[in-house]
Every structure is written in C-alpha cells, then in structure tokens.
Structure 1
Amino acid sequence: MKKKLLLAFILIIQNVCAQIVSYDNSFASTGKYTVTASINTSYRKKIIKNTDGSIYFTYARDNASLGSPECVISKLNPNGTLDSSFGNNGETVISNYYAGVDSQLTKQTDGKLLIYDFNTDGSVIVRVLPNGQLDTAFGINGVSKIANVYTDFNSYGYGLYLQNNKIIIYGLSTDEQSNFYKSIHRLNNDGNIDTTFGNNGSINTMGNFVFLDSQSNIITLISDHSYTNANTTYPNGGLEKYNGNGQPLTSFGNNGTLAFTTSPGMVGTAFMDSNNNIICYNMNNEIFRINSIGAYDSSFVFDSSNSYPFTITNISSVVEKNGNYYIAGQTGSMGETFFISKLTPTGAVDPIFNYYSETTASSEGIGDMIINNNNIIAERGTTILKFLLSNPTLSTLDKEKSNQDITFENPVKQNLVFTTKDKVNKIEIYSADGKFLKTIQDNNTDVSELSKGIYIAKITFKNRKSVTKKLIKD
C-alpha cells in the first residue's frame, strides 16, 4: 500500500509541475526578439499575448527633439517576427506622449488596446485598434487626458484596470497647498469621465497602491506616510475599501477603513492575486502576503536567504498563476545573472521547477512575464524572451518509465544509495514543504544529518533530463 501511495505522490507532482528547459528556438532568433530602435531600457516594457500566440508590447524610445522618451506599441507574430501590418510597419508611436515611467498596457474584450502613461499635465490614456491605428471614437482622436494625476514618487503607485465596460486609472495628485494624495478616476468606454463614480467621477485615498478585486471592489493599501494626514490616520498603515461605484464599502472594517495594529513593513511593489490577497515585495528581497481581511498571512513564508544556493541581489518581478507565484530576480556582484523561479502557495520554492538562471554580459533584470502551460514569455532590457517548459502532461506510462531511470535504497538510513543507467549530474534534496536542503553529486553520500521524515529528491542527469523521487529517511 505504501508503494502505491508513494508512486501516486510522485505522479501527481510531475503532472502539475514543469521547469524551464531551454529557449524556444522557433521564436525570433534562438528564442530572443531584440528591439532594434533606440530603446530606453530605464523603462520597462509591457507585454500581452493573444490567443493566436501573437504578442503586443510597449517600450520607451528616446526622442531627441522631444527631449524625453516617447511610447511605442508594437506587435510580434507568433514566431517572434515583427508584424509589419500593425500600425506603421509594425509599430505605432503615440504623439505628445511622455513616457518617463513604465507604461501600462491592457486589452479590452473587443481586442482594442489601452495604454496608460503621462504627459506634462497629467495622465494620458490612449486606445489603439487591433491593427495599430488610434481609435478616434475614444476621447479626442483616440486620446483621453486627466489633469493632475501623475506617477508616484517611486514611479510605481499608478495603474490601469478594466472594470466591466469601464476604465479605472489612478495616480498621484496634489492640491494647491502641495498636499499629496492618490486619486482614482473612472472613464466610460468612450474615454469621458464617468460622473456616476465616487464624487463626480473620482475618489481620493491615502493608499500607495490601488487594486481591483474579483468582485470589482476597489481596495487601497496604505503602507507609508508620503501623503497628507496618512501618518495620523494610519500610523501602521491600513486598507481602504470601496464598492465598484467608488463608495465606501461599509461592511469592511470601520465604515470601509481598517487601520493596521502593526506595520507590515516596507512595501516597494504590490499586486492583488486571484484570491484577493495582496502580494508585497521590496528592495530587501522580502515577499509577504496580506489576506483579504487585511491581516498579515503567516501561512506564506518566503526565505530568500536560505531558498537558493546563491544570494539574491534584486527581485525584479512577481507574477501569480493558478495560486503559485513566479518570481524573477538577479544575483551576482553586478546583477549579471538573472533567474526565474516558482513559489508554491505557501511561499516555498517549488522543488520541481526550482529555478532557471543565466549569466549574461549585461545586468538587466526580468520585468513583465506571461506564464503559459508550455512556455514563459518575459521582457528584459532590449529583448523579449520565450522559454520552453518541460511537458507537464506526460502519460502515466511515460512517468513510470522516467522514474525507473534511477532507483534508491528507500527508506534511506545513513547513506543515500542509488542505482542508475545514466550519469547523475546532481541530486537536490528538499523538505516536504519545498525548502532546499542540500546538493549531492556522489553515490553512497552520507545524509545522516537529515532527521527522520519525508523528503523530495530532484535528480538531474548529465544529459539534462531530470526526474523527481520521494524519499523516506529512517
């Protein structure tokens, strides 16, 4: 009975997990599309994948005559070549569009694209047709502007959401006395202000970050005190919640507000996952989670110092997919090595996916990522990268066969003894909750320091194939 349960455990793990195995050589040039224009890599690209595999992306291009970067939206075919039928030979430049920060990009259900950025007067929202032409039915000739809504001090506290047939944007605003606050505006589908929202089309909040939950409620996270009266009202930070029409959600906290009793710590970047949890990460390479009722979620623990066999110098991106979290970051003295990893819902490193790393000549980190079943698309510097994932849907027969490539003396006593037809490159041992413990390279290695219990062994062969085994330490 134990053997059957053990085999089932292994098969379940392999059926739901995958790992990066290589670049997709059928995409662009060896899996990498490079923007040849004078791209300004100080500002991140945003990417959207269509159902046919084509990709829209934005980037900032230096414009000497403007004295600042301008925003460009472009399109790639599924094979990673430029789609010359889009816009003007594959790209659309938004005139008078100041791109001194990362642009925001989203796609409506009708296929039209929305780009959000700023000019000298405030926010700019542009709508582009699927063919790259401006949608003249939106705003004024495709452009809607909202004055006095800017990027935050740290160039993160702004954003764009779709709320059914409405458009929500937020950013930093100020009154005539230089008091700062976040303002949230809602636009109708034609680009005009929706005066039925909040107070004649907008609401003000002291929140640093604004989210839209799965019920279309608006949630703001207060995590520092850059804004007027925030320190007095929320000395430890807090949450404010509004319903979909911008009115306080009175069923939450104290008439829609909740002041934290203890500070969650420094928050550099935050987003809301599919379970309405707020995922936060910062320059100290900490990742933590605040649940939907505003409490620090102690069930999520990410230990960056002990999770990898290298020191993380920067976490550049976190993306959620099906309850798991894919993170990208950098290591090395100059940040020259980038990595992509996967965390389980509890914050542990997924023992199957583990991490992929690559050392390059530049120190740019991975930014926006799209996680698919068989591949990962990511932006980095001047490039868009496409990685292949190992097939997570092998047949049961194939899985059983792959696990026969190596057998262990199980349960393990003092030494880890194995028999295999192929040469082993390394064996990584993880705890049952996914924490990396040690790497083994030789047969009959002493593992007596491991306490009794269940462990996961990931075996990587010299031919780069890998399998996973469950081990029982006696």
Structure 2
Amino acid sequence: MRTIITSLTLLTCLSASAQNIVLNEGFGFEGFTYVENTSVVDKFVLNPDGSIISAGRKYVSGGSDLVLTKHDAIGTQDMTFGANGIALTDMYASVTINSIQLQADGKILVAGSTETGVEIAPGIPILYAFVARYHPNGIIDSSFATNGIFTETDYDQSEFTAVIVQTDQSLILVSYADGISYFTKLTTNGTLDNSYGTNGIRAISDLSTFFFFNRGAISLADGSILTYGLDGTSAERLSCIKTNSAGDLVTSFGQNGIASFDSDPNGFEMATKAQELADGKIVLAGESADNVIIRLEADGTLDSTFATNGILMHTHPSMDMIVQPTGKILIGGQDADAAFNYSLIVTRFNTDGTIDNSFNSTGYFEFDFSDGFEMLNCMVLTNLQRLLIGGRTEYLDQTADFLLAEIDMSESLGLTANKSDEFSMYPNPFSDKVILSVEDPSITSVELTDAMGRSIGNYSLDKQTVLSLEHLNAGIYHVVFTNDQQERISRKLIKN
C-alpha cells in the first residue's frame, strides 16, 4: 500500500475569506487513485457522465506502448474497459501521446508519434505521426483507417500535436513534420480527404518565410483554429497563429494571422498550452527563461491589463494550465521535496496576473502520494470547484503507475476548519432519502446541486432535516451548506 502524504501546513486557518484547498476524500482513496501495470498518464478527457478516459504509456523493454484506462467520476477503475481495465496497443518501438479527444458517438481518438526503431542517422530515430480510434469500451475500432490506426509515413520525422473534431465528425490533425507545420484532414472512416489541400494535407508554415514549430491547437468559438508553439523565423519566439479550417490565415489576428512575442529576447520561448476565455481573450502558457503566461485580446494583441503589458514571467512549476470561469489561472507541476521525492503542486493567479493568496492562504497547494517520484502532466475541471490531475507515481524501485488525484477548491477556511464537525449527512451513498444533521446554529441554509454545480433545490434547516430525493437519477451530487456569514462548504453526495 502506498503512503499518502499531504502537506498539512498548507491547511492552516488564517481567515474566513481564504479558500482551504483540500484533497477530495470522496475520490479514489483519500483523493488519489492509481493503476498498477501502467506507467504514466499523458492526457485525459471527460465523458459527459463524468467518467475519465486516460491515455498514456506503459514502459516496455526498449520503449513504450500506448495505454488507455477508464475511471468513473469518483475514481473507481472500470475493469470492463479494454482487457481487465487496460487497453494496450503496441506502437512500434515507443510512443508519445499529444492529444486525446472524444467524438459525438463516444469513440476515443488518441494522437501523437511513434518511434519506429529505425534511425535516419545515429541517435536520430524515424518518427511517424499517428491517430488511433477506440470504441467507448476501449476496444480498437478496426473500421477506422488501417485496423484502427492512421499513420503518416511520408516524412522521416512527424507527429500529430492535436486533433480537431469537425461538426461532421471528420478530423483535422495538426502536425509537425520535417520542419513544417501541416493540417491533415481525414474522413470519418480515417482515410485522407483528397478534396482538402493537396491529397488531404495543407502546409501552414514553411522553412524560410515562416518557420513554425507547433505544439498543439484548439478550436475557437468562431469556428477557427488557434495553433500555438514557437516561431523560429528570425528568433525563437513564443507564437500562435489563427486559421480557418481550410488552413488559411485569418489576417485580422495579430500580424496577418500570426502573433509572436519576445518575453525573453535572449532565450528560448515556446507556447505549450492555450485556452480561449468567454470574452474571446486567449491565455497562452509556455516555456521561456523561466515559465511564462501571456494573455491576448481576441485580435491577437497583448492584453495590457494582465501582468506586465500582457506577459507574466514566473518560476512556479508549470506542466499544464487551466483558466477557471472566473478568469483565474491554475497551473500545475511537480516540486522536489528531497533527492528522490517529488510532490504535486497547483498554483493560482488572479485575473491581473498577481499570485492569488486567497488560494490556500499561500497561492498554492502542494500534496504528495508516496515517498517516491510524482509527476503532473494534465489537469481538467470536473466541475466549477473540482480539479482533476493526471500524471504518474513512482517508487524508488522505479515502478511507475498511472496516477489520478482530485482537489476540492470549494471550501472556506472559516466554515471548514471550525464547523465541519457540527453537521453531517447520512446515508451516503443513499437510495431515496438523506438525513442532514446540523448542530451549528450559524448554518442557515442548504442547497443541492448536480455534479456540474447546477442548482436542484434549496432547503431550510432544522437540527435534523430529511430530504426525499428518490426522484433523482443515480449519480454524484453536492450538498452546499451556508452560514450567516455567507461562508460555504460543499460535501459530495452519491445516489446509488
């Protein structure tokens, strides 16, 4: 059994307005779950029912294989998925996972690159871009491409960095191959769409006038595509470009469709993550001399209200980024506690780029699963107040496994630290009725919400209140208690 270590010093009660960030004890075992006989989660995606599809790698002799797993919303592994809970695909010598997406029918798309085991020159392997499609149960979809996998073999070194699912369920694959960025379009059955570009492929950069090393792409609300990475035309600059789905630059964005920035004129800079906000602004996170976050206006110019003229340089661990609906920015990574012990850490910034000291009273939450090596690779909001984290855990004996963890960002220190022992709800899980027991007279109301935070009902409280909830579907709900100071605390409720 692995030892769970949480940094309790971060839970010190300082003020009622601060958020007490905690591991969600209702997820997995005290906030964590891991899968033996795997190695590392690279990417994951949520199904509409809240279940989690994780894609990563299993280390094997001489390389790695592609691995998928499925967990429900509370971290229980689905052992009917794939074979005994694991979908394993042999991909030549080794595999890199860059993207996972779901189709409307629930099928799973995983893209990246595979190392063939053959070298162009000593130390330079041949890499082929690939995208694989799986049924929702983890079985590879043999009707897609060739036995479920489309592989781009026309280049010595290529990789798919993103998958964009179109409304007609055709695919635009964003790739980097032999120094050039491309869009590749596949039909719904995984064959090249020869009506697109040249034989299904359209170059969006070149080796002379615009050298662009892309690291991913996202769909924007207006139907266009934002591709991000590094502009190496004249210097190594963090960059993004806006195109339509045909691959044509949207010239009203940035400078003729290209927005490039020198956050560190003397160093390497590259965007590794992007997110569009509700108001059309764009947040980019990436690498520079330290780490960097940039916020752009919708037209690709720097947002001067953020940090220093739109650019925030920082030294906090940053492997992934999520912007909350409030506009606050979460970044996550790992931090070395000792020579062979790494913990996971999540940091939050305010909308103006300053550190958010109301987040756990420090601006960050650090937590650990074992006395070995942990890594954070990906994050997603499972609802407005819950953050799911994926990566790996590794003992000193180098045994690495998929790791998932969920943190709860909903709790206020004033109510959580001092009052949580004065109310309870049972049974949990329940079938038809739930009894709320409240001893604290300052708690004045309770609200029931669904897993996404949408209100189902508000209730007045006595010392014991019976809620008749037989009409609800099976699933996850939240009971939110509020006191007379408008402090709130949320507790997970599960209906069988």
**Alignment TM-score, normalising by the size of structure 1:** 0.66
SS in structure 1 opposite 2:212?
coil
SS in structure 2 opposite 1:349?
coil
User: How far apart are the structure 1 equivalents of 2:237 and 2:47?
Assistant: 42
The residue that corresponds to 2:64 in the other structure is 69
Is 1:60 paired with 2:57? yes
Deviation at 1:97, TM superposition (A): 5.4
**Partners of 2:19 and 2:409 within 8 A in 1:** yes
**Partners of 1:97 and 1:118 within 8 A in 2:** no
User: How far apart are the structure 2 equivalents of 1:197 and 1:271?
Assistant: 26
Is 1:358 paired with 2:367? yes
**Partners of 2:317 and 2:345 within 8 A in 1:** no
Q: Which amino acid aligns with 2:76?
A: T
User: How far apart are the structure 1 equivalents of 2:380 and 2:238?
Assistant: 31
User: How far apart are the structure 2 equivalents of 1:367 and 1:259?
Assistant: 26
Q: Which amino acid aligns with 2:243?
A: Y
**Partners of 1:197 and 1:246 within 8 A in 2:** no
Deviation at 1:287, TM superposition (A): 1.9
**Partners of 1:299 and 1:346 within 8 A in 2:** yes
**Partners of 1:312 and 1:330 within 8 A in 2:** no
Deviation at 1:199, TM superposition (A): 3.5
Q: How does 1:198-209 map to 2 (within 5 A)?
A: 198-204=197-203, 205=205, 206-209=211-214
Deviation at 1:388, TM superposition (A): 2.5
Q: Structure 1 132/19 Cα, relative in aligned 2: closer, same or farther at 3 Å?
A: farther
Is 1:287 paired with 2:293? yes
Deviation at 1:368, TM superposition (A): 0.8
User: How far apart are the structure 2 equivalents of 1:18 and 1:109?
Assistant: 40
**Partners of 2:130 and 2:149 within 8 A in 1:** yes
The residue that corresponds to 1:385 in the other structure is 405
**Partners of 1:222 and 1:237 within 8 A in 2:** yes
Deviation at 1:238, TM superposition (A): 5.7
User: How far apart are the structure 1 equivalents of 2:391 and 2:228?
Assistant: 28
Q: Relative contact order (alpha carbons < 8 A, sep ≥ 6): 1 or 2 greater?
A: 2
Q: Which amino acid aligns with 1:219?
A: L
The residue that corresponds to 2:377 in the other structure is 367
**Partners of 1:280 and 1:288 within 8 A in 2:** yes
Is 1:172 paired with 2:183? no
Q: How does 1:207-226 map to 2 (within 5 A)?
A: 207-209=212-214, 210-211=216-217, 212-221=219-228, 223-225=230-232
Q: Which amino acid aligns with 1:344?
A: N
SS in structure 1 opposite 2:181?
strand
User: How far apart are the structure 2 equivalents of 1:315 and 1:253?
Assistant: 26
Residue-by-residue CA offset, 1:220-272 (whole Å, 9 max, x unaligned): 446342xxxx22xx886765432222234355566x44475x63442252323
Q: Which amino acid aligns with 1:73?
A: L
Q: Which runs of 5+ in 1 are unaligned?
A: 1-13, 175-179, 403-464, 469-474
The residue that corresponds to 1:4 in the other structure is none
Is 1:273 paired with 2:276? yes
The residue that corresponds to 2:166 in the other structure is 163
User: How far apart are the structure 1 equivalents of 2:292 and 2:248?
Assistant: 33
Moved more, 137-146 or 284-293: 284-293
Q: Structure 1 220/59 Cα, relative in aligned 2: closer, same or farther at 3 Å?
A: closer
Give percent identity, aligned residues only: 21
Q: Which amino acid aligns with 1:324?
A: K
Q: Structure 1 18/55 Cα, relative in aligned 2: closer, same or farther at 3 Å?
A: farther
Deviation at 1:332, TM superposition (A): 4.8
Is 1:376 paired with 2:390? no
Is 1:143 paired with 2:149? yes
User: How far apart are the structure 2 equivalents of 1:249 and 1:370?
Assistant: 29
Q: Which amino acid aligns with 1:325?
A: I
Q: How does 1:55-134 map to 2 (within 5 A)?
A: 55-64=52-61, 67-96=62-91, 99-119=94-114, 120=116, 122-134=128-140
Which structure has more strand as a fraction of its residues?
2
Deviation at 1:96, TM superposition (A): 2.9
Deviation at 1:86, TM superposition (A): 1.1
Greater Rg over alpha carbons, structure: 1
Residue-by-residue CA offset, 1:316-375 (whole Å, 9 max, x unaligned): 221123233211134456583432122233223334333212256334332211212242
**Partners of 1:59 and 1:103 within 8 A in 2:** no
The residue that corresponds to 1:245 in the other structure is 246
**Partners of 2:238 and 2:271 within 8 A in 1:** no
User: How far apart are the structure 2 equivalents of 1:221 and 1:270?
Assistant: 8
SS in structure 1 opposite 2:90?
strand
SS in structure 2 opposite 1:183?
strand
Q: Which amino acid aligns with 2:408?
A: L
Q: Which amino acid aligns with 1:137?
A: S
Moved more, 206-215 or 181-190: 206-215
SS in structure 2 opposite 1:123?
strand
Q: Structure 1 33/158 Cα, relative in aligned 2: closer, same or farther at 3 Å?
A: same
User: How far apart are the structure 2 equivalents of 1:28 and 1:238?
Assistant: 39
Q: Which amino acid aligns with 1:160?
A: V
Is 1:185 paired with 2:184? yes
SS in structure 1 opposite 2:83?
coil
Q: Which runs of 5+ in 2 are unaligned?
A: 1-15, 117-126, 206-210, 393-400, 420-484, 489-496
The residue that corresponds to 1:453 in the other structure is none
Q: Which amino acid aligns with 2:346?
A: I
Let me know the Cα RMSD of the aligned residues. Answer: 3.7
**Partners of 2:239 and 2:270 within 8 A in 1:** no
User: How far apart are the structure 2 equivalents of 1:318 and 1:276?
Assistant: 15
State the aligned residue count: 360
User: How far apart are the structure 2 equivalents of 1:208 and 1:93?
Assistant: 30
Deviation at 1:73, TM superposition (A): 0.6
